Chain A
Amino acid sequence: MREASTTDDQAGGTVTATSSTPGGGRPQTGPDDILEMRSITKTFPGVKALSDVTIKVRRGEVHAICGENGAGKSTLMKVLSGVYPHGTYDGDIVFEGQVARFANINESEHAGIVIIHQELALVPYLSIAENIFLGNEVKGRGGLIDWNRANGEAGKLLRRVGLKENPTTPVGQLGVGKQQLVEIAKALTKDVKLLILDEPTAALNDNDSEHLLGLLRQLQAEGITCIIISHKLNEIISIAQSTTIIRDGRTIETLDIAAGEVTQDRIIRGMVGRDLESRYPERESHPGEEVLRVEDWTVGHPTQDRNVVEGASLSVRAGEVIGIAGLMGAGRTELAMSIFGRSYGRYRGGRLYKRGQEIQARNVREAIKHGLAYATEDRKKYGLNLIDDIKRNVSAAALEKLAGGGGLVNSNEEIAVAERSRKDMNIKAPTVMSVTGKLSGGNQQKVVLSKWIFTDPDVLILDEPTRGIDVGAKYEIYVIINKLVAAGKAVIVISSELPELLGICDRVYTLSQGRITGDVPIGEATPERLMELMTLERVTARSGASGGVTVGTSSEAPAVPGAPQQSEQSRSPISSQKPEDLA
Chain B
Amino acid sequence: MSTSTTAPAKAPEPKTGSANPLVALTANLRQSGIYIAFVLVVALFAVLTDGRSLAAANVSTIVTQYAYVLVLAIGMLIVIVAGHIDLSVGSVLAVVGAVAARLAITYEQPWWVAALAALAVGIVIGAWQGFWVAYVGVPAFIVTLAGMLLFRGLDYLVLENISLSGFPPAYSKIATGYLNGLMGGYGYDAFTLLIGALAVVGFVVQQLRTRRARVKYQQTVEALPVLLLKIVIVAAVVMWFAYQLATARGLPIVLILLAVLILAYAVITKSTVFGRQVYAIGGNLSAAMLSGVNVRKVNFWIFVNMGFLAGIAGVIFSAYTNGAQPAAGTGAELDAIAAAFIGGAAVTGGVGTIVGAMVGGLLVAVINNGMIILGLGQEWQFIIRGMVLLLAVAFDVYNKRRSGTR
Contacts and interface: CB of A to CB of B under 8 A. Distances in A.
Given A411-B271, A430-B5, A396 B288 contact: yes
Interface in A363-385: 363-365, 367-368, 374, 376, 381-385
Contacts of A363: 292, 294
A419 B218 CA distance: 10
A524 B384 CA distance: 76
B291 A407 contact: no
Nearest to A383: B287
A144 interface: no
Interface string A395-421: 011011001000111011101100100
A474 interface: no
A3 interface: no
Contacts of B351: 387
A392 interface: yes
Contact of A343 (B6, B270, B283, B290): B290
A430 B15 CA distance: 14
A399 B273 contact: yes
A431 interface: yes
Contact of B217 (A341, A385, A416): A416
B220 interface: yes
A383 B285 CA distance: 10
A386 interface: yes
B284 A386 contact: yes
A559 interface: no
Contacts of B286: 381-382
A408 B277 contact: no
| B284, B288, B294 interface centre (most CB from chain A within 10 Å) | B284
B284 A384 contact: yes
For chain B, which range describes its interface: under 10, 10 to 19, 20 to 34, or 35 or more residues? 35 or more
B401 interface: no
A382 B277 CA distance: 15
Most A CB contacts (10 A, CB to CB) among B6, B214, B276, B293 go to B276
Given A412-B213, A438-B406, A364 B272 contact: no
B292 A365 contact: yes
A388 interface: yes
A408 B289 contact: no
B272 A408 contact: yes
Interface in B373-406: 405-406
A11 to B, nearest CB: 36
Contacts of A408: 267, 271-272
Interface centre among B220, B280, B291, B405 (most CB of A within 10 A): B291
A374 B283 contact: no
A341 B2 CA distance: 41
B158 to A, nearest CB: 37
B20 to A, nearest CB: 17
B273 A392 contact: no
Contact of A396 (B271, B272, B291, B350): B291
Interface string B184-215: 00000000000000000000000000000110
Contacts of B405: 44-45
A368 B272 CA distance: 20
A47 interface: yes
Given A385-B288, A387-B350, A392 B279 contact: yes
B287 A409 contact: no
B9 interface: yes
A451 interface: yes
A409 B220 CA distance: 19
Nearest to B348: A387
Contacts of A367: 292
A409 B280 CA distance: 14
A43 to B, nearest CB: 10
Contacts of B294: 363, 365
B398 to A, nearest CB: 15
A408 B271 CA distance: 5
Interface string B255-299: 000000000000100111100110110011011111111100000
Nearest to B267: A408
Contact of A47 (B270, B346, B406): B406
Interface in A468-522: none
Nearest to A47: B406
Interface in B1-19: 2, 5-6, 9
B219 interface: yes
Contacts of B289: 343, 364
A368 B290 CA distance: 10
A134 to B, nearest CB: 24
A400 B9 CA distance: 26
B292 A431 contact: no
A409 B291 contact: no
A384 B276 contact: no
Nearest to B216: A412
Nearest to A452: B291
Contacts of A451: 291
Given A45-B406, A408-B271, A415-B219, A392 B291 contact: no
Given A385-B350, A416-B217, A431 B406 contact: no
A403 B276 CA distance: 11
B290 A388 contact: no
A230 to B, nearest CB: 25
B168 to A, nearest CB: 37
B366 to A, nearest CB: 30
A78 B279 CA distance: 32
Nearest to A378: B286
A413 B6 CA distance: 19
A336 B273 CA distance: 27
Contacts of A385: 279-280, 283-284, 287-288, 350
A89 to B, nearest CB: 13
A416 to B, nearest CB: 5
A340 B291 CA distance: 11
B358 to A, nearest CB: 21
Contacts of B270: 411
A364 B273 contact: no
Contacts of B2: 46, 430
Contact of A384 (B216, B287, B346): B287
A460 to B, nearest CB: 14
Interface string A122-137: 0000000000000000
Given A44-B405, A396-B291, A397-B292, A430 B283 contact: no
Nearest to B284: A385
Given A343-B289, A412-B219, A392 B214 contact: no
Contacts of B219: 412, 415
A341 B267 CA distance: 31
Contacts of B217: 412-413, 415-416
A123 to B, nearest CB: 19
Interface in B218-237: 218-220
A494 B284 CA distance: 24
Contacts of B214: 412
A364 B406 contact: no
Contacts of A365: 292, 294
Nearest to A400: B273
Contacts of A44: 405-406
Nearest to A455: B292
B212 to A, nearest CB: 10
Given A384-B284, A385-B283, A409 B290 contact: no
Task: Give the 8 A-B CB pairs with smallest separation, nearest first.
Answer: A385-B283, A397-B291, A364-B292, A412-B217, A408-B271, A385-B284, A396-B291, A365-B292
27 contacts: A45-B406, A340-B290, A343-B289, A363-B292, A364-B289, A368-B292, A381-B284, A381-B287, A382-B290, A383-B287, A384-B284, A384-B287, A385-B283, A385-B287, A385-B350, A387-B283, A387-B284, A387-B346, A387-B350, A387-B351, A392-B280, A397-B292, A408-B271, A409-B272, A411-B271, A413-B217, A419-B9
Given A382-B286, A430-B6, 11 more contacts: A45-B406, A343-B290, A363-B294, A382-B284, A386-B283, A397-B291, A400-B273, A411-B270, A412-B216, A412-B219, A419-B218
